[in-house]
Chain A
Amino acid sequence: MTFDDFLLAFFSLEIVGQAWPILWTGLQQTLLLSAIVVPLGVGGGMLLALLSTVRHRLVRWPLMVWVDFFRAVPPLVLLIFVYAGLPFAGLEVSAIGAVAIGFFLNTGAYYGEILRAGIESVPAGQMEAARSTGLTRWQTMRYVVLPQAVRNVLPDLISNTLEVVKLTSIASVVALPELLFQARQAQSVTYNATPIVAAAVVYFLLLWPVVRLLSRLENRQLAGRR
């Protein structure tokens, strides 16, 4: 194989031109999907984190099992289970519905753990000071604890969000026409690997700034802990 053959197989500009309209709709779907599943996961995680502040045994243990269970099951397994399994129970779910349910359960558990750690990182004195001025439990959470909690775990939240956006690529397995799915479609039409390389480049350009930002935040965090 000559170098020209290699270029033709992986980096053909002609193919990129042909495949771009398909890839573009895929990118839009990926962004749309992210805009759905990230808030869903954060919302679910917030719910779990708030529940974890309830000290009662009957809340604590089921919550821990819930979180660890959904952290133990790989997201793709969960997605397939919801998508391919639920119809057998008489529940038809669309691909996007299955993705929404799977991501809510999986990423919710991860966001939940991060936010819980954030809440626990706020000193007890903050809670006491707020309660001593007459704020209710909920107001204390809302105005005093959560803003600090979120700030304390911001790098982890961003890092998890990066993982969630990357994870939307598994929606291709249930034929949701996001970026990876579209790239594979284009590949099967053109018999050329270029569309997949192009998709990879798009992912990289999209997410590289986030990776850079995280790298800096993480280094600062580690330095701050010394």
Chain B
Amino acid sequence: MTGLDRFLDSFFNLRVAVEYLPKIIDGFWLTILLAFCIILSGLAAGLALAVLRSLGIRPVNWLIIFVVDLFRALPPLVIIVLLYFGLPAAGLSISGFASAWLSLALVLMAFSEEIFWAGITAVPRGQWEAARSTGLTFAATLGHVVLPQAVRMVVPPLTNRTIAITKGTALASVVAVPEILGAAQAGVSFSFNPTPLTLGALAYVVLFFPVVILGRWIETRFAWKR
């Protein structure tokens, strides 16, 4: 066999590809489900914390800042491993899926809180004053005047951060979740051929390439007015 044949036989082996494609596709849907759960709960929790922080209750804010710092400083894989292997020691068993979901949602919560908060503080004081002077309550000012401006301002950084954290779904393979990477690795060890890994990488490209392009587009679309 020539080098090229060997290479093709290893990485683009059609027989192996056909055999393991269904597993990879199952993994693909599982990755999407996991990503969806993370994004929804992570962003919601981040926004909730940012709003809570805007109430200006000192001890609460310190706690929020600490939690945010904690989850910005810890590597996501460390959190996943800690939950998955650590919680059983406390008598709580947790599935791999749940530990990955919870971990990455916490990380996204931390990053998005920081970004939402930056957006809220970037809305000029005059906006608050104008809204309150017309008799709007604190909540109405926040909801109708401040947040719409803040959210628009933070769309680009938030999109990029969300994409980066969502790519962490691959980490779930470490705690035995058969998402794309997990399915691909299982395929490699059964077939002694790396083609499932090629498929897995392609699946990620299919999934995230459009998202990365979307992020690029959003970045120019919502560009900061200088």
Q: Flag if B226 contacts A219 (CB, 8 Å).
A: no
Whether B85 contacts A10 by the Cβ 8 Å rule is no
Q: Which residues of B contact A (CB under 8 A)?
A: 3, 6-7, 10-11, 69-70, 72-79, 81-82, 85-86, 89-91, 114, 118-119, 121-122, 124, 164, 167-171, 173-174, 180-181, 184-185, 188, 193-194, 197-198, 200-201, 204-205, 207-209, 211-213, 216, 224, 226
Bound Cα distance A168, B78 (Å)? 11
In the complex, are the beta carbons of A68 and B212 less than 8 A apart?
Answer: yes
Q: Which residues of B contact A169 (CB under 8 A)?
A: 75, 77-78
Known: A76-B181, A77-B201. A90 touches B82 (CB 8 A): no
From A73, A203, A207, A218, give the contact of B114 (CB < 8 A): A218
Q: A72-B207, A172-B77, A212-B69 are in contact. List 20 more A-B contacts (CB 8 A).
A: A10-B89, A68-B209, A69-B205, A71-B208, A74-B169, A74-B208, A75-B167, A76-B181, A77-B204, A81-B198, A85-B197, A88-B10, A88-B193, A166-B76, A169-B75, A203-B74, A204-B70, A215-B114, A218-B114, A219-B121
- Whether the Cβ atoms of B73 and A203 lie closer than 8 Å is yes
Complex CA gap A212/B72 in Å reads 10
A-B contact pairs, 24 of them (CB 8 A): A1-B90, A1-B91, A6-B90, A72-B204, A73-B208, A74-B167, A74-B169, A77-B181, A84-B194, A85-B194, A85-B197, A88-B193, A88-B194, A89-B11, A166-B73, A169-B78, A170-B171, A180-B75, A193-B90, A196-B86, A204-B74, A218-B118, A219-B118, A226-B122
Instruction: Identify which of B119, B173, B205 contacts A76 (C-beta below 8 A).
Output: B173
Q: Which residues of A contact B122 (CB under 8 A)?
A: 222-223, 225-226
Q: CB distance A74 to B170 under 8 Å?
A: yes
Given A74-B168, A163-B164, A219-B121: A192 in contact with B75 (beta carbons within 8 A): no
Interface residues of A in 171-226 (CB under 8 A from B): 172-173, 180, 184, 187, 192-193, 196-197, 199-200, 203-204, 206-208, 210-212, 214-215, 218-219, 222-223, 225-226
A160 to B89, CA, bound (A): 34
